C-alpha cells in the first residue's frame, strides 16, 4: 500500500497546465516501488491538460482569462482526500506554489509571477484532515 500521495507532476507525469512535468528520480523511485501514489488534483477535478493557468484570488481559483474554476479545484481536492482515506495515506509530497498543491506559498492572484505565503486547495484540505505535508524542497526522510 502507498505511504505517500505525491503530486503526479513531480515524478515525470506530464500533467501540468503547460503539459510539462518535473523529474525527481527519488520520487519516481518511490512510485515505482509502490510506496507513493501519484495524483493530480486538477486532472482529477475534471480539468484538461494543457489548461489555462489559474491562481487563487480572494478565496476563489480564477483562470488567467477570468473564468472561475473554484468548483473544479475543490472537486480535485476532495478526490485527493478520498484517495488518502482509501489507502490509509497519512503524508503527502506536494508541488510548492501550485493553486492546488502549494504547501507554503502560492502565486498572488495577479498572474504576474509574484508569490505570497499561502496554500493550495488540496494542500489545505489534506492538512485540515490530518495529512502531513511535504514538498519537493522539503522531503520527508525516505
What residue ranges bind ligand SF4 (CB under 6 A)? Answer: 7-9, 15-16, 40-42, 95, 98, 100-101
- For the chain, the residue count is 142
Closer CB to ligand SF4, residue 3 or residue 15?
15
Min CB(122)–ligand SF4 separation in Å = 7
Backbone angles phi, psi at 126, to 5 degrees: -65, -45
Min CB(42)–ligand SF4 separation in Å = 4
Closer CB to ligand SF4, residue 75 or residue 95?
95
Q: How far apart are CA 6 and CA 114, in angstroms?
A: 25
Min CB(59)–ligand SF4 separation in Å = 18
Q: How far apart are CA 137 and CA 120, in angstroms?
A: 16
Residues 6 or more apart whose Cβ sits within 8 Å of residue 141: none
Amino acid at each position: 500500500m502507498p505511504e505517500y500521495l505525491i503530486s503526479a507532476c513531480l515524478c515525470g507525469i506530464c500533467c501540468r497546465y503547460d503539459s510539462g512535468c518535473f523529474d525527481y528520480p527519488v520520487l519516481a523511485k518511490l512510485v515505482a516501488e509502490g510506496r507513493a501514489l501519484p495524483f493530480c488534483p486538477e486532472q482529477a477535478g475534471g480539468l484538461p491538460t494543457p489548461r489555462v493557468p489559474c491562481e487563487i484570488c480572494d478565496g476563489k481559483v480564477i483562470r488567467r482569462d477570468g473564468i472561475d474554476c473554484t468548483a473544479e479545484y475543490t472537486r480535485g481536492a476532495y478526490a485527493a482526500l478520498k484517495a488518502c482515506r482509501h489507502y490509509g495515506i497519512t503524508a503527502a509530497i506536494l508541488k510548492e506554489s501550485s493553486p492546488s498543491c502549494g504547501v507554503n506559498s502560492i502565486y498572488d492572484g495577479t498572474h504576474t509571477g509574484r508569490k505570497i505565503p499561502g496554500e493550495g486547495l488540496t494542500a489545505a484540505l489534506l492538512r485540515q484532515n490530518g495529512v502531513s505535508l511535504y514538498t519537493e524542497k522539503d522531503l520527508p526522510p525516505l
